[in-house]
Amino acid sequence: MRCAHLVMPTRTRGIVAWPINGMSERRAPSSVLSRLLQRLRAFDRHVLTADGQRAAVSLIVAAVVVFVPLFSAWQVTLGSAGAATPLTIQANTGPQPTEPVFSIRRIARTTAIEARVAKVRTQLATLSAKLPQSACLVVLAESRSVATTRAQRALIPASNMKLLVAAAALDVLGADYRFTTLLFGNRSGATVLGNLWLVGGGDPVLSTRAYPPTQNYPAINPTYLENLADELVASGVTLITGAVVGDESRYDTERYVPTWGDGIRSIEAGPLGALMVDDGVLVGEPFKPANPATGAATAFTRLLQARGVTVIGAARSGVVPPTASTLGQLTSAPLSDILADLLTNSDNNVAELLLKEIGLVNKQQATRVAGLETITEVLEARAIPVEGLVLADGSGLDSSNQVSCQLLVTLLNTYGINSPVGQALAVAGATGTLREQLTTGPALNRVRAKTGTLRLAKSLSGFFPVVDASGQSVITFAFVLNGPGISNKTSYQPLWNELMQSLAAFSATPTTDDLLPRP
């Protein structure tokens, strides 16, 4: 049984398992063998009549004519049994083949692909031999596995966990999904009578304009709170007789993942809430408020006061009464843009808030655990392997997370480089967490990937575009390293560089036509 585990908030570790149906084997019909023998005789006649330049190629094709169809039939039979899935998601399987299984062109294409990736395969074998046991590497080129070093071994993925969150968010919420922050109150002319309620909609990039310049990786697609203040002021409001009250009731109040250490809390992420402005920071103050909704209300009060609005009461948190009227709203960029903050910048708070949102939408439970369960359902619905998967958080900050390279590379290959997931990845030597990585060599301005860093983990998974016979192709890779000291540049950078050099060895030749017999 393959299963995924969730790390729960109480005691040690709870386990939730989702079984996957087993597979059965079947025998190929005897008629297949007859057809294969006929093909062999045809190839024999061709070898006798072909010119010398083509004879060697024909012998190669003849050698694989038996193996390739039998192997393909065996693989199809093994995959005939599927798993029941809780989500209905159409997998991107591409068009149905238009050529017969035993077509000479099909066999020539297979041989051509193998020749194009041969050097990549050889160089990756050298790299794989250097890797410690606590490492995995999987590389796909032109739908061929060219490296599978401990592919199924589950390791600490660090921020590569965010790839799983991005995939689930895209499937559950949709690329056009937006977050809305609302204002409620009771107004009479230029006055809001009583409290003005700032109601959080889970926007993970809600920000004031003063905050991004203070960050090493400033928000790429922030939702500026000033726009909501400007809307209220433009409507004519000049006085609030009560206070600005922050409402965070959309999500639960779990501020931190229970298994996070003190070095993570409030520093790397949190305190979490559905109304969170500037990552919970109050610009200019040394400590974050314990309640992010109160911090957001304080920030909005300051914005209103700077625009000449008088606010009588002190900012606090609470729940908006049902009798209040809508006074304004602020809408975020679409999810496809917010994914850049998640993946390019590796924003931990974005990951954790998206996790709660997908839990709310999919399971009507705005909790971390519901979000983690949803991730597993999405993976299974897309036939992405979950064997050995252990989920503790969405950001990857928790070292309890366990993910295999096979899962990561299959996920990336399923969505593709042109999907919102692929386009949200950092570019080597140019953007986000890869801005100062892979700044020379073949990866520069070419590779799109997600990094991951913890004290005991370093990961890199993404896409390496190459030129093939059709003009363009993509190599998909997942590379996870675990162990003491692995996050030091002297440990991982030589391995990263060697991986990039190996992928760059891909050849655009031979083409399928190069290997076909002349008419």
Fill in the DSSP letter of residue 305.
Answer: H
Query: Quick check: 192 pLDDT over 80?
Result: yes
User: What's the pLDDT score for residue 142?
Assistant: 84
pLDDT at residue 10 tops 80: no
For residues 211-238, give the mean pLDDT.
Answer: 97
Structure token pair of residue 344: 């390019």
Q: Tell me the domain boundaries of the chain.
A: 31-113, 178-333
pLDDT tens for 126-185 read 999 999 999 999 999 988 899 999 999 999 999 999 999 999 999 999 999 999 999 999
Q: In the predicted model, what is the mean pLDDT of the chain? A: 85
Chain centroid to Cα 5, Å, comes to 19
Asked if residues 134 and 483 have their Cβ atoms less than 8 Å apart, the reply is yes
Cα–Cα distance, 487 to 491 (Å, whole number) = 7
Q: Can you give the pLDDT at residue 28?
A: 38
- Residue 100: predicted pLDDT: 61
Task: State how far the Cα of 129 lies from the Cα of 484, in Å rounded to an integer.
Answer: 19
User: What are the C-alpha distances in Å from 281 to residues 101, 154, 214, 340?
Assistant: 61, 35, 11, 21
Residue 27 has pLDDT above 60, yes or no: no
Q: Which two tokens stand for residue 239?
A: 């006085």
Residues whose CB is less than 8 angstroms from the CB of residue 508 and which lie 6 or more positions away in sequence, other chains included:
116, 466, 467, 468, 469
- pLDDT at position 44 is 42
Q: What is the pLDDT of residues 30-53, one digit of tens each?
A: 454 455 445 544 444 443 333 444
Residue 514 pLDDT? 64
Between CA 257 and CA 348 the distance in angstroms is 12
289-297: average pLDDT: 98
Q: Domain 178-333 in CATH: superfamily? A: D-Ala-D-Ala carboxypeptidase C, peptidase S13 (3.50.80.20)
**pLDDT tens column, 312-329:** 999 999 999 999 999 999
pLDDT band at 105 (very low <50, low <70, confident <90, very high): low
Mean pLDDT of 239-243: 98
Query: What distance in Å separates the CA atoms of residue 73 and residue 94, rounded to the nearest whole number?
Result: 19
Q: Please tell me the pTM assigned to this model.
A: 0.82
DSSP classification of residue 275: S
Does 3 or 212 have the greater pLDDT score?
A: 212
Residue with more model confidence, 142 or 519: 142
Report which of 287, 222, 290 is spatially closest to residue 256, judged by C-alpha positions.
Answer: 290
Q: pLDDT at residue 73 above 70? A: no
Concatenating the DSSP letter of every residue in 101-113 gives: TT-HHHHHHHHHH
